[in-house]
């Protein structure tokens, strides 16, 4: 009796689940990721319907997925989005560049020397907790151009995670590696290039990943002010002209680029990661 | 250096002759009046005092002594990883200054670079020595082949067993063609079976290349099995207590660990490294401390 039920092809939940578990890992992952995006789109779509059906909010109906993707397509077709993206990415890259140039050496010092760590710890933790946007008034006073002010804010956002990530990496270095490297003939420069940097690379990139996250979040509100280019400016501009479909399209672009930046950082972490023995 | 009476009867004319010939070889490593202190809370602690010792070319020397007597410090001084307070260390008659490729070192903790493959680890010193990448790769692969790890050339350290890692650490040091190989308890972390295998490996390598080995261990059997002579240190401060010539023929017989001369040597070393009275007092102390630990268990009485 039970044999019969077992051999009969079923469409039960249990059967589906067992089938799912037999899929390869990447397929499970892809399916679940698609499902997640599907849920997001669905919620968005429902939200759009609710907004459209309410007389008070009807004016904002263009926030719905349909108009948004039309607007996005228009932005891509006319090419106007590329310059906007370019301006924002340029600021992020310059901010990140200075964050790395300042943050990695500082992190190495903090991680390597106990005294530097003891001196720097309190002030750095204190400064780290200040929202980068809080520096805005000071940045505007200190820098001649809005662009420079924004880049300053981005440096303030990126430098801390990079400093702390690097310092963490340096502290994890096994002192025996120095001894071995010295014994095998490495001098100071070779020690840095062939031992210290590869040893800390994964932690530095982990710091950079956090830095990119913070910087990307800070960038948009920073671009609300003063400048006349970039994604933040484009959002503000769309709001002023009541272009709600364009506004939503730019939000989509911000999310997408943020995701790609993060994925790049994750790939770098993977590339440079090593496992403890 | 007189042979102690308990070992004299095992020192056959052939063994005696071999030991004497060793002492007539050129000096590979010559330590003269070596002093070393560390500063701890503003106070100098003398770790090594007036160490005199010579290792001759292609000799296998083991160093034993109580924990903390300065064995590792001695190896690190020879390697140039630590500064000398007094005395001198000579290699082939020339005083050493800082680390040099003539003194390779292998640590107990393997200390392979985890972000490099086995091949890259072995290439590290070759490239540092100025060899071209291609040439270094060829030589590294030969070494890897020699210790039977050719299938693992592109593996990372975390994919290897302890014995395999230690083989990589050894050939990484040997690839630079040092004159003296310093080994600080290299096999201490291995299980007994692997340790024996590694000891045999090491003897095999030692017999086939021109190298003097300075091997630190706390395992007296290991010291006797491997070495021509054993440098016994005493602690606080670390001084040379005695240098013992091992009365065993080479190559070692398979049953050498059970042979009478082996056991006699072990008993003799035992008496040098752990004097009897001291050991009993130590044990009594430790036991009384254990008794003071309250037993808080569901089964309070195991008898
Ligand atoms: N860098 C250092 N600074 C201060 N003291 C040190 C340092 N290195 C070693 N010592 C001290 O020197 C003494 C000898 O240490 P060493 O590691 O050479 O002993 P060892 O004979 O190798 O011991 P073990 O058998 O436990 O490995 C110890 O008392 C140790 O505390
Ligand atoms: Mg030691």
pLDDT tens readout for residues B134-184: 999 999 999 999 999 999 999 999 999 999 999 999 999 999 999 999 999
Task: Provide the b/e sequence for A135-169 (b: ≥16 CB within 10 Å).
Answer: bbeebbeeeeebbebbbbbbbbbbbbbbbbbbbbb
Q: With 90 as the cut, is the pLDDT of residue A60 above it?
A: no
Q: With 80 as the cut, is the pLDDT of residue B18 above it?
A: yes
Q: State the average pLDDT over residues A162-182.
A: 92
What spacing in Å lies between the alpha carbon of B207 and ligand 2's midpoint? 26
User: What pLDDT shows up at residue B293?
Assistant: 65
Residues of A in contact with B111 (CB under 8 A): 174, 176-177, 179-180
Nearest residue to B174 (alpha-carbon basis) of B111, B105, B116, B227: B105
Q: For ligand 1, atom 22, which residue shows the shortest CA distance? A: B72
pLDDT in tens, B235-261: 988 999 999 999 999 888 888 888 999
A183 and B79 in contact by Cβ < 8 A?
yes
Ligand 1 atom with the smallest distance to the CA of B238 is 14
Distance CA B265, CA B144 (A): 36
What three-state secondary structure class fits A171?
A: helix
pLDDT in tens, B166-180: 999 999 999 999 999
Q: With 70 as the cut, is the pLDDT of residue B291 above it?
A: no
B105 and A180 in contact by Cβ < 8 A?
yes
Q: State the average pLDDT over residues A96-124.
A: 94
Residues of B in contact with A203 (CB under 8 A): none
Q: What is the mean pLDDT of chain B?
A: 90
- Name the band, by pLDDT with cuts 50, 70 and 90, for residue A223: very high
B112 touches chain A (CB under 8 A): yes
Of B112, B113, B128, the CB nearest to A185: B128
B128 and A274 in contact by Cβ < 8 A?
no
Q: State the average pLDDT over residues A20-47.
A: 91
- Residue pair A151/A181 in contact (Cβ under 8 Å)? The answer is no
Instruction: Please confirm whether the linkage preceding B60 is cis (ω < 30° from 0).
Output: no
CB pairs under 8 A between A and B: 69
Q: What is the CATH topology of the domain spanning A72-271? A: MetI-like fold (1.10.3720)
pLDDT in tens, B51-72: 999 999 999 999 999 999 999 9
pLDDT in tens, A229-275: 899 999 989 888 888 889 999 999 999 999 999 999 999 999 999 87
Among A179, A180, A190, pick the best mutation site for testing chain B contact (most B Cβ within 10 A). A180
B176 touches chain A (CB under 8 A): yes
Q: Is B1 inside a domain boundary?
A: no
The angle formed by the CA atoms of residues B10, B11 and B16, to the nearest 5 degrees, is 170
- CATH at residue B174: 3.40.50.300
User: Which residues span the domain enclosing B131?
Assistant: 28-291
Q: If you measure CA to CA, which chain A residue comes closest to B181? A: A183
User: What pLDDT shows up at residue A161?
Assistant: 95
User: What pLDDT shows up at residue A1?
Assistant: 46
Nearest residue to B51 (alpha-carbon basis) of B2, B85, B1, B82: B85
Q: With 70 as the cut, is the pLDDT of residue A9 above it?
A: no
Q: Is B86 inside a domain boundary?
A: yes
Ligand 1 atom with the smallest distance to the CA of B82 is 1
| Report for A8-17, A48-57, B86-95: range of highest mean pLDDT | B86-95
- Name the band, by pLDDT with cuts 50, 70 and 90, for residue B6: confident
Return the residue matching tokens 């440098």.
Answer: B231
Q: With 50 as the cut, is the pLDDT of residue A100 above it?
A: yes
Q: What is the mean pLDDT of chain A?
A: 90
**Which residues line the pocket of ligand 1, CB cutoff 6 A?**
B 38, 40, 47, 65, 67-73, 218
**Which part of chain A has CATH 1.10.3720.10?**
72-271
% of chain B at pLDDT higher than 70: 90
Distance CA A163, CA A211 (A): 10
Distance CA A233, CA A210 (A): 24
B173 touches chain A (CB under 8 A): yes
Q: For ligand 1, atom 4, which residue shows the shortest CA distance? A: B38
Length of chain A counted residue by residue: 277
B125 and A174 in contact by Cβ < 8 A?
no
| Beta-ladder partners of B183 | B106, B215
Q: Is B208 inside a domain boundary?
A: yes
Q: If you measure CA to CA, which chain B residue comes closest to A177? A: B111
ipTM above 0.85, yes or no: no
Q: Is B11 inside a domain boundary?
A: no
Q: How many distinct structural domains can be found in chain B? A: 1
Q: With 90 as the cut, is the pLDDT of residue B10 above it?
A: no
Q: For ligand 1, atom 8, which residue shows the shortest CA distance? A: B73
Among B35, B68, B76, which is best to mutate for testing ligand 1, by the most ligand atoms less than 8 A from CB?
A: B68
Residues of B in contact with A185 (CB under 8 A): 99, 101, 125, 128-129, 176
A277 and B158 in contact by Cβ < 8 A?
yes
Q: State the average pLDDT over residues B96-105.
A: 92
A-side interface with B, Cβ within 8 Å? Answer: 174, 176-177, 179-186, 190, 194-195, 198-199, 201, 272, 274-277
């Amino acid at each position: 009796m039970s044999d019969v039920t077992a051999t009969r092809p079923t469409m039960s939940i249990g059967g589906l689940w067992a089938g799912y578990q037999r899929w390869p890992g990447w397929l499970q992952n892809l399916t679940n990721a698609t499902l997640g995006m599907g849920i997001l789109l669905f919620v968005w779509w429902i939200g759009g319907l609710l907004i459209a059906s309410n007389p008070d909010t009807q004016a904002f109906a263009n926030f719905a997925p349909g108009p948004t993707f039309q607007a996005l397509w228009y932005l891509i077709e006319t090419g106007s989005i590329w310059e906007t993206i370019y301006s924002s990415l340029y600021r992020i890259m310059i901010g990140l560049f200075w964050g790395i140039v300042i943050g990695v050496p500082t992190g190495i010092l903090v991680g390597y020397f106990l005294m530097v760590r003891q001196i720097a710890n309190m002030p750095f933790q204190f400064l780290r907790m200040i929202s980068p946007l809080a520096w805005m008034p000071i940045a505007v006073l200190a820098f001649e151009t809005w662009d420079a002010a924004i880049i300053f804010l981005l440096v303030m956002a990126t430098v801390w995670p990079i400093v702390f990530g690097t310092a963490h990496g340096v502290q994890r270095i096994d002192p025996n590696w120095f001894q071995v490297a010295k014994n095998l003939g490495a001098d100071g420069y070779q020690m840095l290039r062939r031992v210290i940097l590869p040893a800390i690379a994964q932690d530095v990139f982990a710091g950079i990943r956090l830095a990119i996250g913070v910087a990307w979040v800070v960038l948009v509100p920073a671009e609300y002010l003063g400048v006349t280019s970039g994604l933040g400016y484009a959002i503000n501009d769309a709001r002023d002209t009541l272009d709600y479909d364009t506004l939503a399209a730019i939000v989509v672009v911000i999310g997408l680029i943020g995701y790609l930046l993060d994925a790049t950082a994750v790939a770098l972490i993977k590339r440079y990661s090593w496992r403890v023995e | 250096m007189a042979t102690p009476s308990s070992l004299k009867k095992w020192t056959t004319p052939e063994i005696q002759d071999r030991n004497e010939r060793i002492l007539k070889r050129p000096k590979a490593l010559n330590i003269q009046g070596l002093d070393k202190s560390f500063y701890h809370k503003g106070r100098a602690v003398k770790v090594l005092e007036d160490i005199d010792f010579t290792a001759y070319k292609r000799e296998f020397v083991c160093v034993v002594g109580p924990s903390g007597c300065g064995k590792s410090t001695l190896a690190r001084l020879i390697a140039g990883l630590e500064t000398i307070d007094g005395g001198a260390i000579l290699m082939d008659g020339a005083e050493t200054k800082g680390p040099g490729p003539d003194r390779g070192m292998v640590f107990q903790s393997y200390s392979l670079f985890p972000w490099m493959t086995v091949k890259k680890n072995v290439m590290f010193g070759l490239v540092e020595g100025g060899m071209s990448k291609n040439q270094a790769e060829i030589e590294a692969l030969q070494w890897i082949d020699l210790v039977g790890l050719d299938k693992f050339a592109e593996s990372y350290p975390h994919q290897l067993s302890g014995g395999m890692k230690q083989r990589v650490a050894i050939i990484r040091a040997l690839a630079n063609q040092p004159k003296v190989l310093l080994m600080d308890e290299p096999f201490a972390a291995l299980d007994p079976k692997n340790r024996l295998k590694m000891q045999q490996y090491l003897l095999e390598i030692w017999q086939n290349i021109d190298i003097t080995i300075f091997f630190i261990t706390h395992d007296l059997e290991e010291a006797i099995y491997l070495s021509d002579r054993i440098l016994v240190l005493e602690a606080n401060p670390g001084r040379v207590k005695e240098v013992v010539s091992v009365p065993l023929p080479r190559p070692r017989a398979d049953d050498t660990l059970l042979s009478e001369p082996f056991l006699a040597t072990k008993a003799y070393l035992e008496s040098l490294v752990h004097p009897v009275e001291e050991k009993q007092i130590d044990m009594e102390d430790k036991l009384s401390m254990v008794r003071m630990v309250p037993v808080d268990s569901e089964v309070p009485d195991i008898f």
